[in-house]
Amino acid sequence: MSLSERLNEDMKQAMREQDKFKLSVIRMVRSSIKNVEIDQRRTLDDNEVLDILNREVKQRKDSLQEFEKAGREDLVSGLQQELAILSVYLPQQLTAEEVKTIVEETIAEVGAASKADMGKVMGALMPKVKGRADGKLVNQTVQQLLP
């Protein structure tokens, strides 16, 4: 079952269960997906849907940090619930140790010798960890491991 089909099925299930919060979150994500499909005049594949889900999660995480700084606990709890719903559709995230191992392997593959080679490393690395690791963590790990 594709990611889009899974979202549709979960939306129907949320309707049956009358879970209005989950329904609104899924509808919001489906709306984002549909907007991109309309813009590109084609149906998106799972990788593209995953990109949209990652973007939605990132937006919510950024908002969550801002609301926590502002002391808006009422908004923080809602965003945490939204993140919990969205995280179900994302692949299992890599741990920091797994990211470090993949970064070390990629540095050896491309023969990077200094921080000047960071672009080559990131270019080869990002497709390997796409959707499974936070880009910020990957970037920091590469910077730490390059001399």
Q: Which residues contact 27 (CB under 8 A, 6 or more apart)?
A: 11
Range of the domain at 128: 96-145
Q: What is the pLDDT of residues 6-62, one digit of tens each?
A: 999 999 999 999 999 999 999 999 999 999 999 999 999 988 998 899 899 989 999
CATH of the domain at 101: 1.10.10.410
Q: 101: pLDDT confidence band, cut at 50, 70 and 90?
A: very high
Domain boundary among 87, 121, 136: 87
Q: What is the pLDDT of residues 80-96, one digit of tens each?
A: 999 999 999 988 888 88
Spatial separation of the C-alpha atoms in residues 68 and 143, rounded to whole Å:
28
Is the same domain home to 78 and 109?
Answer: no
